[in-house]
Amino acid sequence: MKSIITILLAVLSAFLVYLLYLNIQEPIKFQEVKTEREKAVIGKLEDIRTAQEMYKAITDKYAKNFDSLAYTLNTDSITIEKILGDPDDPTGQDFIRTEIRKSAKDSLDFLEVDISDLSTVPYGDGKTFTIAADTMTYQSTLVNVCQVGTRYKDFMGDYASRKYSKYDNSYNPDKMIKFGDMNAPNLSGNWGR
């Protein structure tokens, strides 16, 4: 009888050690997954922002959808200004300004921006970023604005629940990670970089 109780206590102890291990590992795993996925999404948002800036340089506005963004960047070119000499020289001697047209796609390829897959959220199981663009009056001037983003729950997979906010007080699966603002001419990202 005494050996049965000893065996049961040993099994119970092993089970409790296992539960303790899981409780310690869960917040560590959550932070690892969150950091990895957040980094991938931010990288993609930075690529989209670069593409939007190039689109605006070509069309004088931001793209309202990913199809027109990709089409324009695949088929159009940007103007690059090459300046030789000192533009601040009051005599204007030895100052040459040349405009060169270069394929937008080639420029994006050089920057390692893949325009064929910009809309897809990393780790999002096929979900796409939301994209919006328009004009607004800001300080008595008509300006172009855009916003692109996604919610944490769209790419956090198994960790897309509010219960994980106990490991990170700032974590909210409904929070949007984005760049731009539809209410101000601003292309800053809200991720703190």
Taking only the tens place, the pLDDT of each residue in 19-75 is: 776 667 788 898 999 999 999 999 999 999 999 999 999 999 999 999 999 999 989
**Mean pLDDT, rounded, for 133-161:** 93
Does residue 123 fall inside a structural domain? yes
Domains identified in the chain, total number: 1
pLDDT at 112: 84
Does residue 148 fall inside a structural domain? yes
Does residue 60 fall inside a structural domain? yes
Does residue 76 fall inside a structural domain? no
Helices (H), the chain: 2-59, 66-75, 104-110
Does residue 52 fall inside a structural domain? yes
Q: Are the CB atoms for 180 and 148 separated by under 8 Å? A: yes
Does residue 101 fall inside a structural domain? no
- Domain range enclosing 46: 2-66+118-180
Q: Which pLDDT band, with edges at 50, 70 and 90, does 5 fall under?
A: confident
pTM, 2 dp: 0.80
Q: Mean pLDDT for the chain?
A: 87
pLDDT at 193: 47
Does residue 112 fall inside a structural domain? no
pLDDT at 22: 66
Does residue 95 fall inside a structural domain? no
